[in-house]
Amino acid sequence: MGQEFLPVSIEEIRASGIETPDFVFLAGDAYVDHPSFAPALIGRVLEAEGYSVMLVPQPEFRTDDAFRALPKPRLAFLICAGNMDTMVNHYTVAGKKRQSDFYSPGGRTGQRPDRATIVYGKQLRRLFPDVPIVAGGIEASLRRLGHYDYWSNRVMRSILIDSCADLLIYGMGEQQVKEIAAELAAGRPVSEITDVRGTVYKCRELPEGFTREGTVLPPFTEIAADKRTYAESFALQYRNTDPFRARMLAEPYENCYVIQNRPALPLSQAELDAVYELPFAGRAHPMYDKDGGIPAAAEISFSITSCRGCFGACSFCALTFHQGRIVQARSHESILREAEKLTRRPDFKGYIHDVGGPTANFRGPACAKQLTHGACPERQCLFPEPCVSLKADHSDYLALLRKLRVLPSVKKVFLRSGIRFDYLMADPEREKVLRELTAHHISGQLKVAPEHISDTVLSVMGKPPHRVYEAFSELYSRITKESGKKLFTVPYLMSSHPGSGLKEAVELAEYLRDHRIRPEQVQDFYPTPSTISTCMYYTGLDPRTMKKVYVAASPREKAMQRALIQYSRPDNYALVKEALIAAGRRDLIGSGSKCLIKGYEKQTKSNHGPSNRGQSDRRPNRPSKKENQL
C-alpha cells in the first residue's frame, strides 16, 4: 500500500528513499487524493505499477523559478490542466472572469494560467529540452486535433503542437499511461512510442500502411479557413470515437502530421474495480487546511463513482469524445467495500450523497454487442427513439442500492447526479423502479434534464421528444402524490442552444408559465471544445447531416432567450418585452392571464438587462412553494 498522499516535494520523495522520481506530474488543480481527480488517479495507477511520482499541484507559472526548481524526472514529465478545461474554469459564457475556483484552495482564482496545458508544456520544454513530456486530462483530450475555440473565436491547432508535448493521452488514461511508462522504462525513445491506443503523436510522414488502417482528415489550413470543411472533418472525428470501429486519423499540418491512434479499449469490471480501490486518502491534502480546504473536495467527499461512459450522446456533451459511449461499471462488491470505508470515517454522518457517474442509472452497455462490436457510428441508443436493441433494465442498479442502504451506519443513499428519464421510461418496469427510488433515494428534489420543450430544439440537442418528459413528469407526480411525500423535479433548462430562436424560447417561457415553474438558475449554451453543438454554433451546420441549423450568435439575442426563461424577474422586464415584440408575440404583454409581463415597466433598481447571477453555471433550479410537483 502506498503513502497516504503522493509526494508533493523533492524532500518527500527523498524521505521515501528515492533520489529522483520516475515522473514529475504538474497539475492545474489543487491536490485532492480521490479518484474523481485525474492527477490523483493517474498518480496512484503509476504508483501501483512500481513507479515513483512527485505531484506538483498548481505550480507558480508567472516566472520560471518554480519550474527551474523541479527535479529532472527519470522517465517523463506529465501535465494535466485539471478536471475542467481552464478556459471554462476561468470564464463565464459571457466572457467574464469567474469569481471563484472550486478546484483551488479556499476557492481562490488565479492559481493556474489560461490554457494551462500549453503554458506548462512550453515552460517545461524550454527548461528541460531533453525530457519527454506527456499531456493528458480533459483539456488535452478535447483539444487533441484542430478545434474551434470559443474564447478566441477561431480554429486552433492540436494542443499537442502548441504545448510542445511529445505524446498526448486522450480519454480515461489508466491503460495508456501504464503502457507509456513501461516503454519509457524499457529505454524506448518517446519518439518511437507511436502504437499506444488512446494517444496522439506527431510525425513528419504518414506511417507505412496508414491508408489501410487510417483516414486522412482535411488539412488544418483548410478547416481553419472554411466552416463547411471544418464540419466535415468534425463528423469524421465523431464517427471514429468508438474503440472497436474507429480508424486511425491523421491531420495534416504545414510541417507534420498529427496522428490519433484508435481509442483505448474499455476497462473490464475487474480492471475498473482495481483502479477505484487503489489506496486513495479520499480527501484534499492537509497543506490546504489553513485555506479552508478545496471546495470541490466537499462535493464528492461522500459520493461513490459506480460507472463511466455514457450512451446518451447529447449533442452538447463531450463525453462521447472523452469517456466514450460504452458504459463500464464497477462490481457491487467493489462499491460496497468503498461504502464501508466511507462509514468508518469520523466525519461520516450516515449519508452517501451519490452513487453514479455521468448518468446514475446507467449500469452497463446499451446492448450486448457493444462489448464486442462497439457503438453504432450512424445510430444513437436513445435518440430519436430508444433502439430496439437497447437493454433498458434497472434491476442491477436497484439491487446495488438495496445493498448499500442496509449497511451499518448508513441512513440514506441519495442520487445527486440525477437520472436519465428517457432511459427510465424505456424500462418496462419503470413504475416499480421509480417507486423504489422515490421511497428510498430522493430527498426533496430529483435532477432531470429535459433541457427544452421544443421538439425542434430537442432534435438538434439529440434529446427525446418533449412527450417523453411529459410522460415521465406525470408518472413521477402520480407516484409522489400516492406516497404522500413532497418531492419535486429539478429540471435543467438551456437557452440559446443551436436550433433555438426567439420563437422556441417563447414556447419554453409559456410552458414554464403554464406549469408555474420559476427557475432560479439558467444554463446558457456554452460552446466548449469537441461537442457537436459547438461545431453547429461555429459553422451553422449539423455535422451529422450537413443541414443548416439556426444559431443565436448575437449577445443580445442570447440575453433575450435567457431572460425569457426567467420572465418573472423584474430586472429582466426590458429584455423580455423586447424579445416578445421581436418574436411577434405582443399578445403575451398585458394584463391577461396568459401574459408573461405587464404592459408597463415595473420600477426596479435596474431594468437595463439580465442579472448575471448564476447564469453561466449549471446549478439546480429550486422549486418555489407555488410550483407543481412535476
Round the average pLDDT of the chain to a whole number and report it. Answer: 92
Task: Calculate mean pLDDT across residues 421-442.
Answer: 95
Where does the pLDDT of residue 491 fall: very low under 50, low under 70, confident under 90, or very high at 90 and above? confident
Where does the pLDDT of residue 227 fall: very low under 50, low under 70, confident under 90, or very high at 90 and above? very high
Task: Calculate mean pLDDT across residues 452-460.
Answer: 96
CA–CA gap between residue 272 and residue 348 (Å, rounded): 25
Q: Which residue has the higher pLDDT, 2 or 505?
A: 505
Residues 431, 516, single domain; the answer is no
Residues 409, 523, single domain; the answer is no
E strand residue ranges, 480-582:
488-495, 523-524, 541-542, 547-548
Residue after which a domain boundary falls, among 201, 226, 255? 201
190, 76 contact by CB (below 8 A): yes
Residue 520 lies in a domain: yes
Residues 18, 112, single domain; the answer is yes
Q: What share of the chain is helix, strand, coil (3-state, %, to 5)?
A: 35, 15, 50
Tell which residue, 98, 124, 123, 121, has the closest CA to residue 111: 98
Other C-beta atoms closer than 10 Å to the C-beta of 169 total 28
The phi and psi torsions of 371 (rounded to 5 degrees) equal -75, -15
Residues 428, 511, single domain; the answer is no
Residue 190 lies in a domain: yes
Residues 420, 481, single domain; the answer is no
Task: Calculate mean pLDDT across residues 106-126.
Answer: 97
CATH code for the domain in which residue 330 is found? 3.30.750.210
Q: In the structure grid, which three cell numbers stand for residue 236, read together?
A: 469524421
Where does the pLDDT of residue 488 fall: very low under 50, low under 70, confident under 90, or very high at 90 and above? confident
Residue 241 lies in a domain: no
Residue after which a domain boundary falls, among 184, 201, 218? 201
589, 509 contact by CB (below 8 A): no
Where does the pLDDT of residue 522 fall: very low under 50, low under 70, confident under 90, or very high at 90 and above? confident
**Could you tell me which residues are beta bridge partners of residue 542?**
547
Residue after which a domain boundary falls, among 442, 460, 481? 442
Where does the pLDDT of residue 444 fall: very low under 50, low under 70, confident under 90, or very high at 90 and above? confident
With 80 as the cut, is the pLDDT of residue 623 above it?
no
Residues 168, 19, single domain; the answer is yes
Where does the pLDDT of residue 621 fall: very low under 50, low under 70, confident under 90, or very high at 90 and above? very low
Q: In the structure grid, which three cell numbers stand for residue 225, read together?
A: 479557413
With 70 as the cut, is the pLDDT of residue 594 above it?
yes
- Quick one: DSSP state of residue 69? T
pLDDT at site 624 = 34
Task: List Cβ neighbours of 102 (8 Å cut-off, separation of 6 or more).
Answer: 294, 295, 296, 299
Say if residue 507 is exposed, middle or buried (CB neighbours under 10 Å; 0-12, 13-18, 19+): buried
CA–CA gap between residue 85 and residue 29 (Å, rounded): 11
Residues 363, 409, single domain; the answer is yes
Q: In the structure grid, which three cell numbers stand for residue 41, read together?
A: 488517479
Residue 175 lies in a domain: yes
Residues 191, 324, single domain; the answer is no
CA–CA gap between residue 493 and residue 489 (Å, rounded): 12
Cα torsion 116, 120, 126, 132: sign: negative
Q: What is the pLDDT of residues 368-386, one digit of tens each?
A: 999 899 999 888 999 999 9
Helices (H), 60-196: 65-68, 86-90, 116-127, 138-142, 159-162, 174-185
Instruction: State the residue range of the domain holding 477.
Output: 444-451+473-493+502-528+554-630
Task: Calculate mean pLDDT across residues 116-138.
Answer: 98
CATH code for the domain in which residue 191 is found? 3.40.50.2300
Per the structure, how many domains does the chain have?
Answer: 3
Q: Which of 25-29, 415-419, 538-542 has the lowest mean pLDDT?
A: 415-419
The reported pTM is: 0.92
437, 391 contact by CB (below 8 A): no
Q: Percentage of the chain with pLDDT > 70?
A: 95
| CA angle 618–621–627, rounded 5-degree value | 160
CA–CA gap between residue 129 and residue 120 (Å, rounded): 13
pLDDT at site 371 = 87
Task: Calculate mean pLDDT across residues 149-160.
Answer: 98
Residues 387, 510, single domain; the answer is no
pLDDT at site 445 = 83
Task: Calculate mean pLDDT across residues 576-585.
Answer: 97
CA–CA gap between residue 181 and residue 160 (Å, rounded): 19
Amino acid identity for residue 411 in this structure: K
- Quick one: DSSP state of residue 32? B
Tell which residue, 357, 479, 350, has the closest CA to residue 413: 350
Residues 34, 182, single domain; the answer is yes
Residues 43, 89, single domain; the answer is yes
Q: What is the pLDDT of residues 66-113, one digit of tens each?
A: 999 999 999 999 999 999 999 999 999 999 999 999 999 999 999 999
Q: What is the pLDDT of residues 176-226, one digit of tens each?
A: 999 999 999 999 999 999 999 999 999 999 999 898 989 999 999 999 999
Task: List Cβ neighbours of 42 (8 Å cut-off, separation of 6 or more).
Answer: 25, 78, 80, 136, 173, 174, 177
CA–CA gap between residue 89 and residue 83 (Å, rounded): 9
Tell which residue, 300, 227, 219, has the closest CA to residue 40: 300
The phi and psi torsions of 47 (rounded to 5 degrees) equal -60, -40
Residues in the chain: 630
Where does the pLDDT of residue 246 fall: very low under 50, low under 70, confident under 90, or very high at 90 and above? very high
With 50 as the cut, is the pLDDT of residue 55 above it?
yes
Report the first-to-last Cα separation within the chain, whole angstroms.
49
With 90 as the cut, is the pLDDT of residue 629 above it?
no
Q: What is the pLDDT of residues 269-288, one digit of tens each?
A: 999 999 999 999 999 999 99
Q: In the structure grid, which three cell numbers stand for residue 268, read together?
A: 473490464
Q: Percentage of the chain with pLDDT > 90?
A: 86
With 70 as the cut, is the pLDDT of residue 615 above it?
no
Residue 141 lies in a domain: yes
326, 362 contact by CB (below 8 A): no
R_g of the chain computed on alpha carbons: 25
Q: Which of 2-16, 216-230, 347-361, 615-629 has the lowest mean pLDDT?
A: 615-629
Residues 422, 482, single domain; the answer is no
Q: What is the layout of strands, in order, in the sheet containing 257-260?
A: 53-57, 23-27, 76-80, 133-136, 167-169, 199-203, 257-260, 248-252, 214-216
Tell which residue, 577, 570, 575, has the closest CA to residue 557: 575
Residue 534 lies in a domain: no
pLDDT at site 627 = 28
Task: Calculate mean pLDDT across residues 43-69.
Answer: 97
Task: Calculate mean pLDDT across residues 558-572.
Answer: 96
pLDDT at site 489 = 85
pLDDT at site 622 = 34
Residue 224 lies in a domain: no
CA–CA gap between residue 6 and residue 415 (Å, rounded): 31
Residue 3 lies in a domain: no
CA–CA gap between residue 269 and residue 274 (Å, rounded): 9
